[in-house]
Structure 1
């Protein structure tokens, strides 16, 4: 009987290769941890005023979403990241416990590193801002560490991008519930404070894809970035706002205002110049040709 021409092709494992096992991927994650221990301190130093911390990577451990939930504190921050720029591929997870974050925030404001008792249900804005900076520094160091695996230069460097963050691992839903994970704990010892840690959890599929051979992108001439003094941006009108006075008024005082009242105000020495709510420069108030003017003293 002749073979069905529609039958799917069958390839022998020797030709297509097999996915690496968990035992083979553990040393890969260990090398990533060693690389992070060397590259992450420089990024964290920018958060601590220049003091370079010591980072140590623990041996990789097998994990699951359930084990991460059980080991986390009552309040933890779970940050989903993606390797490279495809939003649907190569996810990984960073886990930050709440207590160390509150200690870092308290020290940043000159405190001794106190932690609120009991822990709140959510992170305040100050902790959210610190989390964003920690995520950025970790993502940059991870990109360097992952690129070192296959020896690519800047043109082929892997990018790690924070995607979203949540205090509930169930709501974040980063991976399938039954996904096999490898976890890497990074212990950070700051010179002026107690130790803290961050845990990275990578699905086996992500690690397998990272270790797969990757062709270097074809080199091509890079397009020069558009300059703001050239078209089509040069003639684009933008509304610049100089904030001369920013004064708080109570609701009682505001409701009682009457024509003829005088409100004493003080013009700040440094006047911010803003576009769409973002401060781009600052300057001092002066006068030119009988008109109020701002002399720019600092541009960001």
Structure 2
């Protein structure tokens, strides 16, 4: 039996570009993206808290995320906190939302007519009067998180005031913690903390970016951010007339130029006419009633 052969390649081997061979970003590299998601969450959370606690919207600020281990989580959150385990769209991922126990007690005190000032030592458990408030806080946080991640409200799985009994993450797992500071006027600030496994960041932020790309695939909505706040100077041309150079050279103070205001006053942006209207008055001010929109 002859075992030596001359092998000939049937076709050229595939040569993949560097972009296809490059692995995805490391979880720690996504911390800046988590900070941006935290800023979106803070903006979405403020009006929800205003509806819940009454009064003006509080100042909500997303602080810098940090890394920690699961065995240090209980020390970070304290002995008593409103802990809720939430499920985002990313499969197999859970996220912890935790509100300081002292802050919950202050909000309950205000709900019952108190001043909401810090009292004595934090008890070992929440009173029954705090349960309804915690549920409503959980709903507001889940809705704001869903908006920040580009999906519907997150699904609440379970809650427990003692993080040791909730056991949301594997023992010793590396986590990322995103603190959110809430300031209500001159009152002492309080914190809401979001925590999730560091390894889950690509899934959570990937789902967020995918949902955002899906939303942006259609025509842009001019009434939505960031387009809605872009200033566009609108020019109404009441008179557009041609004057001979000889007449211009004879102009002097007191000279009178007869003009006729157009019946259909053009409205333009950057030189492009977008509409026409007629001159009138409203609330003792000159106004234009639109009669035509130029498509």
**TM-score, with normalisation over the residues of structure 2?**
0.60
Aligned to 1:20, what secondary structure does the other structure show?
Answer: coil
- Structure of larger gyration radius: 2
Choose from 87, 103, 108 the match for 1:105.
Answer: 108
**Over aligned residue pairs, what C-alpha RMSD do you find?**
2.8
Residues of 1 paired with 2:170 and 2:24: CA distance?
19
Contact 1:52 1:191 survives alignment (8 Å): no
**TM-score, with normalisation over the residues of structure 1?**
0.59
Q: Which runs of 5+ in 1 are unaligned?
A: 2-11, 148-156, 218-300
Which residue does the alignment assign to 1:55? Answer: 60
Which residue does the alignment assign to 2:121? Answer: 118
Asked if 1:182 is matched to 2:182, the reply is no
Asked if 1:128 is matched to 2:131, the reply is yes
Which residue does the alignment assign to 1:21? Answer: 26
Q: What are the residue-to-residue correspondences of 1:175-254 with 2, within 5 Å?
A: 175-191=169-185, 193-212=187-206, 214=210, 216=214
Count the aligned residue pairs. Answer: 198
Asked if 1:73 is matched to 2:78, the reply is yes
Residues of 2 paired with 1:115 and 1:124: CA distance?
16
Distance 1:208 1:158, change over 3 A: farther
Contact 1:64 1:181 survives alignment (8 Å): yes
Which residue does the alignment assign to 1:143? Answer: 146
Range that drifts further, 118-127 or 181-190: 118-127
Distance 1:75 1:214, change over 3 A: same
Q: Which runs of 5+ in 2 are unaligned?
A: 4-16, 216-295
Deviation readout 1:157-207 (Å, 9 max, x if unpaired): 344112111122222121111322111100001136331110000212332
How far residue 118 of structure 1 moved from its aligned partner, in angstroms, is 3.2
Show structure 1 runs of 4+ deviating over 4 A: 12-17
Which residue does the alignment assign to 2:165? Answer: 171
